[in-house]
């Protein structure tokens, strides 16, 4: 009995079952064909429903001339044939109902056929799945047999690996002994290295201390150098002042010797008074060094005017820049660096002496008097930085008139002055310089410049206080106003052009 079971060929049985199912499936009507026939039948039924009543069909004619007579004749004939047409319509209605019933029966049968078809497909899918599982079992059996064979080979390999591992353990023991000996030697080397590191750290600490001392010495040397430079500047100024004082005394003695025993003339007295006005020249230069800032700082501030001079397109050969009250010569130095020809005018002999030592073109003269000696349309630009606040108002008017006269067409005038809109400037800082006369509000200066002939006059706010000095504003309008009034621009410039 067991032999008979073993002789059963499962594959042949499954193939036969699959073949029978395919034959049954082929005998069933096609679903796509049924769907197409169903659509056509439904269309025919629609035509029957809409056309079986031939008694009431509309009568028309496509002929234009004979259309109406033909339609009339057709209507007369339909009246005469009404009994026959009614019988035909009743017959058509009965046929339509019969066909509708047959169609519904056909649809029910098609639904049954479709259900049988779906069932056959499910059976086929099940048979296919069973076949796949049988195939998988066969493959698993074959794989199991191969795995047994591979496992035997692995057992042999493991045995060989165990033997090799035993040999490796023996070799590793020897390596461990070697490593231990190397570790002992390394420990001795680390101890020696640690000692060297400690020694190097001590040397580095000594070097660090030496560097700190050298930095302190260098700082002291820099401070000493600054002090020496400052002292040299003071000594140079004192030397210049002594030379000027000696010149004044010599002139006074010479004038006195010429007139003895006769009295001094008015010209001689005027020269003596003019010389006396220069006694405080050195003091005023020291005042500028103390309160106005260093030469480098002032020169950087003056760079703001370079775009204006570039806009003027100065031809310095025909119309140079004239800096009134040139002082220590910061603006002249800037013009020299930018390759713009410029000349300075000042009455402070100490400043003139220092500028001439730097090869700057400065002459000694009163600003208005010098302007009066120039020709019309002879200067490209006239500048005056912190000059107009030293002048009486009438002199300021004369200065503007002469400036407009000597400027070339398209020339520019620039005057910078403290801003009294800044409360601290207008009430306190302005009076640091005892030679200042009174603060000049920007609106007044702008109106006066326009009234005396300058065009395109604009005011440029300059040099606001440092941001760290301002109070935090947030959304408080009072804080914004406070910062504007107390820490706003400390200076302003009036810039005007000649038409």
Quick: pLDDT tens for 20-50: 656 655 555 555 455 455 677 777 777 777 7
pLDDT score of 275: 56
pLDDT at 258: 62
Mean pLDDT of 207-236: 77
Asked which of 111, 141, 157 is the last residue of a domain, the reply is 157
Burial 45-66 (b: 16+ CB within 10 A, else e): eeeeeeebeeeeeeeeeeeeee
C-alpha span between 97 and 45 (Å, rounded): 10
The yes-or-no verdict on residue 464 having pLDDT over 90 is yes
In a domain, 116, yes or no: yes
Residue 5 pLDDT > 60, yes or no? no
- At 199-218, the pLDDT tens digits run 888 888 888 888 888 888 88
Residue-wise pLDDT for 120-152, tens only, equals 788 878 878 887 887 887 788 788 888 878 888
Distances (CA, A) of 341 to 69, 321, 333, 382, 407: 117, 6, 10, 12, 15
In a domain, 129, yes or no: yes
pLDDT at 331 over 90: yes
Q: How many C-beta atoms lie closer than 10 Å to residue 10's C-beta?
A: 11
Contact between 282 and 240 under an 8 Å Cβ cutoff? The reply is: yes
What's the Cα-to-Cα distance from 415 to each of 305, 389, 399, 482, 489, rounded to whole Å? 11, 10, 11, 27, 15
Domain presence at residue 429: yes
Cα–Cα distance measured from residue 355 to residue 350, given in angstroms and rounded to the nearest whole number: 9
Per the structure, the complete domain to which residue 115 belongs is given by 9-157
Tell me: the pLDDT tens digits for 67-102?
A: 788 888 888 887 888 888 788 888 888 888 888 888
Higher-pLDDT residue of 185 and 31 is 185
pTM of the model: 0.50
**Does 280 map to a domain?**
no
Q: Are 385 and 331 in contact (CB under 8 A)?
A: yes
Q: Secondary structure of 416-446 in the HEC alphabet?
A: EEECCCCHHHHHCHHHHCCCCCCCCCHHHHH
- The yes-or-no verdict on residue 112 having pLDDT over 90 is no
CATH of the domain at 346: 3.40.50.150
Q: Give CA 313 to chain center in angstroms.
A: 34
* pLDDT above 80: residue 226: no
Contacts of residues 116-124 at CB distance under 8 Å and 24 or more positions apart, as own/partner, are 116/28, 117/25, 117/28, 117/31, 120/21, 120/24, 120/25, 120/28, 121/25, 123/21, 124/18, 124/21, 124/22, 124/25
Quote the percentage of the chain above a pLDDT of 70.
78
The burial of 474, by beta-carbon neighbours within 10 Å (0-12 exposed, 13-18 middle, 19 or more buried), is given as exposed
Bridge pairing between strands 379-385 and 489-497: unpaired
Of the pLDDT bands very low, low, confident and very high (cuts 50, 70, 90), residue 13 is: low
- CA atoms of 378 and 370, how far apart (whole Å): 13
Q: Structural domain tally of the chain?
A: 2
Domain presence at residue 137: yes
**Residue 130 belongs to some domain of the structure:** yes
Measured from the Cβ of residue 379, the count of other Cβ atoms closer than 10 Å reads: 24
pLDDT band at residue 3 under the 50/70/90 scheme:
very low
The region of weakest confidence among 325-329, 397-401, 469-473 is 469-473
Tokens 């493991």 label which residue?
Answer: 158
Q: Which of 36-45, 178-187, 203-212, 357-366 has the highest mean pLDDT?
A: 357-366
User: At 418, is the pLDDT very low, low, confident or very high (cuts 50, 70, 90)?
Assistant: very high
Position 193 scores a pLDDT of 82
Is the pLDDT at 274 greater than 60? The verdict is no
200 lies in some domain? no
Average pLDDT of the residues of the chain: 81
Q: Residue 247 above 70 pLDDT?
A: no
Q: Tell me whether residue 325 is in a domain.
A: yes
Boundary residue ending a domain (110, 141, 157): 157
pLDDT band, very low/low/confident/very high, at 363 (cuts 50, 70, 90): very high
Mark which of 131, 157, 183 sits at the end of a domain.
157
Per-residue pLDDT, 422: 95
**CB-based contacts of 29, cutoff 8 Å, min separation 6:** 113
Of the listed ranges 65-79, 298-312, 337-351, 354-368, the least confidently predicted one is 65-79
């Amino acid at each position: 009995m067991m032999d008979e079971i073993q002789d059963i060929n499962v594959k042949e049985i499954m193939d036969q079952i699959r073949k029978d199912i395919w034959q049954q499936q082929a005998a069933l009507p096609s679903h796509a064909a049924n769907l197409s026939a169903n659509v056509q039948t439904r269309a025919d039924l629609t035509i029957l429903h809409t056309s079986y009543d031939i008694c009431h069909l509309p009568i028309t004619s496509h002929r234009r001339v004979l259309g109406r007579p033909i339609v009339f004749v057709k209507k007369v004939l339909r009246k005469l044939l009404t009994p026959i047409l009614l019988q035909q319509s009743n017959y058509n209605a009965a046929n339509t109902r019969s066909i509708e019933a047959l169609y519904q029966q056909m649809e029910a049968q098609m639904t049954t056929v479709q259900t049988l078809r779906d069932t056959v497909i499910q059976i086929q899918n099940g048979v296919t799945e069973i076949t796949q599982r049988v195939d998988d079992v066969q493959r698993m059996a074959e794989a199991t047999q191969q795995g047994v064979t591979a496992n035997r080979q692995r057992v042999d390999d493991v045995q060989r690996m165990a033997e090799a591992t035993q040999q490796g353990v023996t070799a590793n023991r020897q390596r461990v002994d070697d490593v231990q000996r190397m570790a002992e030697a390394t420990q001795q080397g680390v101890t020696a290295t640690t000692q060297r590191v400690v020694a190097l750290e001590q040397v580095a600490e000594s070097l660090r201390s030496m560097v700190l001392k050298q930095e302190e010495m260098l700082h002291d040397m820099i401070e000493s150098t600054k002090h020496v430079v400052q002292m040299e500047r003071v000594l140079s100024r004192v030397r210049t002042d002594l030379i000027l004082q000696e010149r004044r005394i010599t002139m006074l003695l010479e004038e006195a010797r010429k007139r003895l025993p006769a009295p001094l003339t008015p010209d001689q007295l005027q020269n003596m008074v003019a010389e006396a006005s220069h006694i405080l020249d050195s003091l005023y230069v020291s005042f500028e060094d103390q309160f106005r800032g260093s030469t480098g700082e002032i020169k950087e501030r003056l760079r703001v005017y370079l775009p204006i001079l570039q806009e003027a397109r100065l031809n310095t050969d025909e119309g140079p820049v004239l800096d009134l009250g040139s002082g220590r010569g910061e603006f002249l130095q800037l013009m020299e660096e930018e390759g713009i020809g410029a000349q300075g005018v000042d009455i402070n002999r100490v400043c003139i002496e220092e500028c001439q030592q730097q090869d700057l073109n400065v002459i000694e003269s009163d600003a208005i008097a010098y302007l009066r000696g120039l020709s019309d349309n002879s200067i490209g630009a006239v500048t005056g930085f912190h000059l107009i606040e030293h002048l009486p108002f009438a002199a300021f008017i004369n200065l503007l008139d002469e400036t407009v006269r000597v400027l070339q067409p398209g020339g520019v005038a620039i005057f910078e002055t403290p801003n009294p809109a800044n409360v601290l400037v207008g009430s306190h800082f302005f009076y640091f310089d005892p030679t200042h006369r009174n603060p000049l509000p920007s609106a007044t200066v702008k109106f006066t410049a326009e009234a005396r002939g300058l065009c395109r006059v604009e005011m440029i706010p300059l040099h606001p206080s440092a941001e760290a000095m301002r109070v935090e504003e947030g959304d408080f309008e009072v804080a914004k106003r406070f910062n504007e009034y107390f820490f706003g621009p400390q200076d302003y410039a009036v810039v005007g052009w000649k038409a």
